[in-house]
Structures are given as structure tokens and as C-alpha cells.
């Protein structure tokens, strides 16, 4: 099983590394695995739909629609769902070195979706995936970087390192709806500075 997770992570990094253009529209994918080989299959979403709201909000709307209509997948090799989009990142040091007020302000800006105004912002392309075992893949590449990085997080991992947020909530919902597999709920880590959005 570990080899499959490594193969999925490498494939997701490869997908980001292959993209050279920026300011692309978001993309939803089905994650398939056949004979141990993972692949991404784009889901056709009309471009105007992504322009209706922020990409995570549109993704949540799509996930709710799938659940409301009880969609089920009939492809035996469907292994999960993935979502690619662009956004902003601000790196913050530990509160002891930077000051708790600055850390809190940066988290508040993230929740208010105003990181694009922060002077230390970094543009990133992100590709998240959730598979039917509840494993989360968080892949990102920073604009100007040579290679993407991928973090693979297993469901039993310490809650302090489990990614949370509306994109992952939507992917969890899609995987559960399409595969009829029940995933463990995500728990916000202790001391989390804000709620999901």
C-alpha cells in the first residue's frame, strides 16, 4: 500500500511540475488507480461556474449537488477525488519569534481571504486529493520554484498535522458520495486560530 501512496504523491507533484502557465482556472479531477498505476481524469465543469464565487465555495456547491442527487460511481478503479487551484501563502514563524499578534493577523487574513494584500504573500498552485482510504495528499508549488512538494497524511495521524478546510471537506464529501465509503471526520487541531471557510 505504501508504494501506491508514494506513486499517487509523485503523480500529483508531476501534474503541478508540468504546468508552466499561471492564472489558470481551477480543475476538479477523479483519481483512478488501475493495476497500481494512478491517473487523474479531469471533470468537465463549465468555466462560468468557477467565476460564480471563490473556487472552494464552488467546489462545496458541486459536492453538495452530488450528495443531494445521490450520485454513485460505477467505475471500479475510482480511488478518490482531487482539486487544483491557485492562491496565496504567507509564511509565519513560530509565535515565540514573530509575535503572536502577527501570527493571529495572518490567520485572520487567511480566513478573510485577503492574503493577496499581504506584503509577504507568495503565489502558489495547490493540488489536493483525498482517496477512499481517507488519505490526504496536499501538493503545492510556489511561483518561481523548480518542483512541487507533496505531503501525504494518513487518517490516524496526529490532529495537529491533519489538513483541514473547505476544499478538503468538499473532497471528503465527494469521495463518500461516489464510493459509499465512510471517511473519518477531520478534527481541527488544538489551538486552531479560526474556523473553516
Query: Per-10-residue mean pLDDT for the chain, 197 residues long?
Result: 85 94 94 94 94 92 86 80 90 60 72 72 91 93 90 75 82 92 76 43
What is the sign of the dihedral through the CA atoms of 166, 155, 75 and 30? positive
* pLDDT for residue 148: 92
Task: Find the DSSP H helices in 18-114.
Answer: 47-50, 55-68, 95-98, 100-111
SS3 content of the chain, % helix, strand, coil (to 5): 35, 25, 40
Domain ranges of the chain: 2-84+122-179
* pLDDT for residue 87: 86
The model carries a pTM of 0.84
Amino acid at each position: 500500500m505504501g508504494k501506491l501512496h508514494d506513486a499517487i504523491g509523485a503523480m500529483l507533484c508531476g501534474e503541478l511540475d508540468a504546468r508552466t502557465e499561471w492564472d489558470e482556472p481551477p480543475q476538479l479531477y477523479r483519481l483512478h488507480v488501475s493495476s497500481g498505476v494512478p491517473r487523474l481524469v479531469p471533470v468537465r465543469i463549465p468555466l462560468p461556474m468557477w467565476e460564480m464565487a471563490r473556487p472552494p465555495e464552488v467546489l462545496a456547491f458541486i459536492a453538495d449537488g452530488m450528495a443531494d442527487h445521490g450520485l454513485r460511481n460505477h467505475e471500479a478503479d475510482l480511488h478518490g477525488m482531487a482539486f487544483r487551484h491557485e492562491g496565496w501563502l504567507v509564511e509565519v514563524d513560530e509565535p515565540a519569534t514573530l509575535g503572536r499578534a502577527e501570527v493571529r493577523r495572518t490567520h485572520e487574513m487567511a480566513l478573510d481571504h485577503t492574503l493577496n494584500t499581504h506584503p509577504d504573500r507568495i503565489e502558489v498552485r495547490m493540488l489536493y486529493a483525498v482517496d477512499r482510504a481517507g488519505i490526504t495528499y496536499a501538493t503545492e508549488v510556489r511561483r518561481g520554484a523548480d518542483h512541487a512538494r507533496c505531503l501525504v497524511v494518513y487518517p490516524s495521524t496526529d490532529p495537529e498535522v491533519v489538513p483541514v478546510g473547505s476544499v478538503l471537506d468538499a473532497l471528503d464529501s465527494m469521495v463518500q458520495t461516489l464510493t459509499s465509503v465512510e471517511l473519518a471526520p477531520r478534527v481541527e487541531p488544538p489551538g486552531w486560530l479560526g474556523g473553516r471557510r
